[in-house]
Amino acid sequence: MSEQNGSPDPFSDTSVQSPAVSNTTASSDRPDRTVIKAEDLNVYYDDEQALNGVDLEIPERKVTAIIGPSGCGKSTFLRSINRMNDLIESARVEGELYLHGKNVYDDDVDPVALRRQVGMVFQKPNPFPKSIYDNVAYGLDIQGKEGDYDEMVETALRRSALWEEVKGQLDQSGLDLSGGQQQRLCIARAIAVDPEVILMDEPASALDPVATSQIEDLIEELAEDYTVVIVTHNMQQAARISDKTAVFLTGGELVEFDDTDKIFENPESQRVEDYITGKFG
Residue 280 has pLDDT above 80, yes or no: no
Give the residue-averaged pLDDT of 269-273.
Answer: 95
- In this prediction, residue 278 carries a pLDDT of 87
Work out the pLDDT band at 17, boundaries 50, 70, 90: very low
Report the candidate in 234, 224, 243 with the shortest Cα–Cα distance to residue 26: 224
- In this prediction, residue 15 carries a pLDDT of 35
Work out the pLDDT band at 31, boundaries 50, 70, 90: low
Percent of the chain whose pLDDT exceeds 70: 88
CATH number at residue 75: 3.40.50.300
- In this prediction, residue 178 carries a pLDDT of 95
Residue 197 has pLDDT above 90, yes or no: yes
Question: 18 CB contacts (<8 Å, ≥6 apart)?
Answer: 10, 100, 196
Check: CB of residue 131 under 8 Å from CB of residue 185: no
Residue 4 has pLDDT above 50, yes or no: no
**Structural domain contains residue 16:** no
**Structural domain contains residue 1:** no
**Structural domain contains residue 162:** yes
Tally of structural domains, the chain: 1
Q: Give the pairing of strands 244-249 and 63-67.
A: parallel
Q: What is the pLDDT of residues 241-255, one digit of tens each?
A: 999 999 999 899 999
Report the candidate in 239, 238, 177, 252 with the shortest Cα–Cα distance to residue 203: 238
Q: Residue 245's beta-bridge partner residues?
A: 65, 258
**Structural domain contains residue 45:** yes
**Structural domain range at position 116:** 34-277
Give the residue-averaged pLDDT of 73-80.
Answer: 96
- In this prediction, residue 110 carries a pLDDT of 94
Q: b/e per residue, 200-239, with b = 16+ CB within 10 A? A: bbbbbeebeeebbebbbebbeebbeebbbbbbbebbebbb
Residue 10 has pLDDT above 60, yes or no: no
Report the candidate in 38, 40, 67, 37 with the shortest Cα–Cα distance to residue 53: 40
Q: Residue 1's beta-bridge partner residues?
A: none
Check: CB of residue 160 under 8 Å from CB of residue 184: yes
Residue 108 has pLDDT above 60, yes or no: yes
Question: If you average pLDDT over every residue of the chain, what do you get?
Answer: 88
**Structural domain contains residue 77:** yes
Calpha distance 75→120 (Å, rounded) = 12
Report the candidate in 107, 121, 145, 133 with the shortest Cα–Cα distance to residue 197: 121
Give the residue-averaged pLDDT of 62-85.
Answer: 96
Residue 2 has pLDDT above 70, yes or no: no
**Structural domain contains residue 2:** no
Residue 176 has pLDDT above 60, yes or no: yes
Check: CB of residue 81 under 8 Å from CB of residue 36: yes
Work out the pLDDT band at 28, boundaries 50, 70, 90: very low
Helices (H), the chain: 19-22, 26-29, 74-81, 111-117, 132-142, 149-159, 163-166, 179-192, 209-222, 235-241, 260-265, 270-276
Residue 274 has pLDDT above 60, yes or no: yes
- In this prediction, residue 146 carries a pLDDT of 85
Q: What is the pLDDT of residues 213-225, one digit of tens each?
A: 999 999 999 999 9
DSSP assignment of 58-85 equals EETTSEEEEE-STTSSHHHHHHHHTTGG
Question: 261 CB contacts (<8 Å, ≥6 apart)?
Answer: none
- In this prediction, residue 220 carries a pLDDT of 93
Give the residue-averaged pLDDT of 44-64.
Answer: 96
